[in-house]
Amino acid sequence: MTTELKGKVGLVTGGTSGIGRDAAILFAKAGAKVVVAGRREVEGKETVELIRGAGGEGLFVKADVSRATDVEAMVGKTVEKFGRLDVAFNNAGVEGSWIPITEQSEAEWDRTIDINLKGVWLCLKHEIRQMLKQGGGGAIVNMASVAGWIGSAGAATYCASKHGVIGLTKAAALETAKNGIRINAVCPAVIETPMGERIFGAPEMKKYAIGLHPIGRFGKPMEVAEAVVWMCSEKASFMTGQSLVLDGGFLAGPNSPG
């Protein structure tokens, strides 16, 4: 156990697997009480059990971040259970359909934008409201992506959603800086998660994608979780409105797609 978040109450959306699950466990190990939110109840409760196994205290709240009523209730249940909200990781997201714009349906666009971008906006809205109600202070990290920095053929909707998260993060940070609330984004390249497996699981695709990472491998969920905990802690007290790239060199070289 560490003490970076001792006495804090944290909220992690999309905490049912991958980066969200590892972040929720690490929040607990850093001393926070953790609310895990997601759409999948079984997996969410598994994450809470892992939090308890790590010596922490957790609660699962079933929530779809694209629904305003769910997000409001999620923050409400956090406060009802633990009394306040200090740090949040707005991690919930989907990859959508990676096909050309001309083949995308309006329904596919709406689903990806509703979860990845509108969902972050709704979370920010209700998290910030609660932090202001408490008198200010707090830290929020939004899940963006290297796809928030570049374009990628076939992934236009996903790229649009993640570019949007970066812009939203900057604006929200400016609105809340004087209230002591810090808001940043994390931008991973390909991470070994169920989502990464769905997109890049085929052998040829995996080989191609690893080739875009000069470090020679995909990232691990815990590598992103470590950064998120640091961004939520007082160690990052002078950081707001920023996007932290964790990409194994993906954006540094000439071979990045776009």
pLDDT in tens, 171-189: 999 999 999 999 999 999 9
Residue 1 has pLDDT above 70, yes or no: no
pLDDT in tens, 209-229: 899 999 999 999 999 999 999
Instruction: Note whether residue 252 is domain-resident.
Output: no
Residues 159-163, mean pLDDT to the nearest whole number: 98
Residue 258 has pLDDT above 70, yes or no: no
Whole-number pLDDT of residue 194 = 73
Q: Is 208 considered catalytic here?
A: no
Instruction: Note whether residue 239 is domain-resident.
Output: yes
Residue 11 has pLDDT above 90, yes or no: yes
Instruction: Note whether residue 258 is domain-resident.
Output: no
Q: Provide the CATH number for the domain around residue 194.
A: 3.40.50.720
| Cα–Cα distance measured from residue 139 to residue 237, given in angstroms and rounded to the nearest whole number | 9
Neighbours of 219 (CB within 10 A): 21
Whole-number pLDDT of residue 255 = 63
Identified catalytic residue from 60, 82, 149, 158: 158
Residues 126-143, mean pLDDT to the nearest whole number: 98
Residues 85-89, mean pLDDT to the nearest whole number: 98
Please tell me the total count of domains within the chain.
Answer: 1
**Closest listed residue to residue 63, CA positions, set 52, 75, 71:** 71
Residue 256 has pLDDT above 80, yes or no: no
pLDDT in tens, 187-208: 999 998 777 778 777 888 889 8
pTM value is 0.95
Instruction: Note whether residue 1 is domain-resident.
Output: no
Range list of H helices, the chain: 18-29, 41-53, 68-82, 106-113, 119-133, 156-176, 194-200, 203-211, 221-232
* Domain containing residue 87: 9-246
